[in-house]
Amino acid sequence: MYYTVDTPKSFEQANADLDAAVKRHGFGVLHVHDIGNTLRSKGQSFDEGCRVFEVCNPAQAARVLASDMRMNMALPCRISVYTEKGKTKIGMIKPLDMLSMLSQDPALTQVAKEVEEKTTLMINEAK
């Protein structure tokens, strides 16, 4: 259900490289949630880095929504760059696994498969 890779890169470098890989593959970064900084700014003790990239390919999103508007709740795709015990990681919940829990529509399965292939490439290029 999860796809996660370790990278020898720094947290900041992995973030920059993921951003570039997302754009190279025709996706856009809609927003980056800096969960680590948000927690610290709210007075929580949190020593790890954690950023969640919301990424989207407009054509793929339109296909998903045309098939089942309820799938808007599963969009956009999220890819995380985070640290854990001193190691930088990049990961996501696999789109095919997630959408297959929400729908059995073959059209959605095909889109999820295509998106998963692209997002996996992005993660692998960023590592």
What CA–CA distance (Å, rounded) separates 79 from 120? 10
Q: Is the pLDDT of residue 81 over 90?
A: yes
Query: Cα–Cα distances in Å, from 56 out to 44, 106, 115?
Result: 30, 20, 9
* C-alpha closest to that of 5 among 92, 77, 85: 92
* C-beta atoms surrounding 122 within 10 Å: 25
Average pLDDT over residues 65-75: 93
For the chain, the domains span 2-126
Rounded average pLDDT over 38-63: 96
The pLDDT of 35-56, averaged and rounded, is 97
Query: How much is the pLDDT for 100?
Result: 86
Q: What's the residue count for the chain?
A: 127
Question: Tens digits of per-residue pLDDT, 8-32?
Answer: 999 999 999 999 999 999 999 999 9
CATH entry 3.30.310.70 includes domain 2-126: yes
- Residue 65 confidence class, pLDDT cut points 50, 70, 90: very high
pLDDT for 90 beyond 90: yes
pLDDT, one tens digit per residue, over 98-125 is 988 998 899 899 999 999 999 999 999 9
Sole residue written with tokens 């003790």: 45
H or E segment to which residue 32 belongs:
strand 28-34
pLDDT of the residue at 39: 98
Give the residue-averaged pLDDT of 93-98.
94
- Return the pLDDT at 24: 97
Sheet holding 28-34, edge to edge: 2-7, 87-93, 77-84, 50-56, 28-34
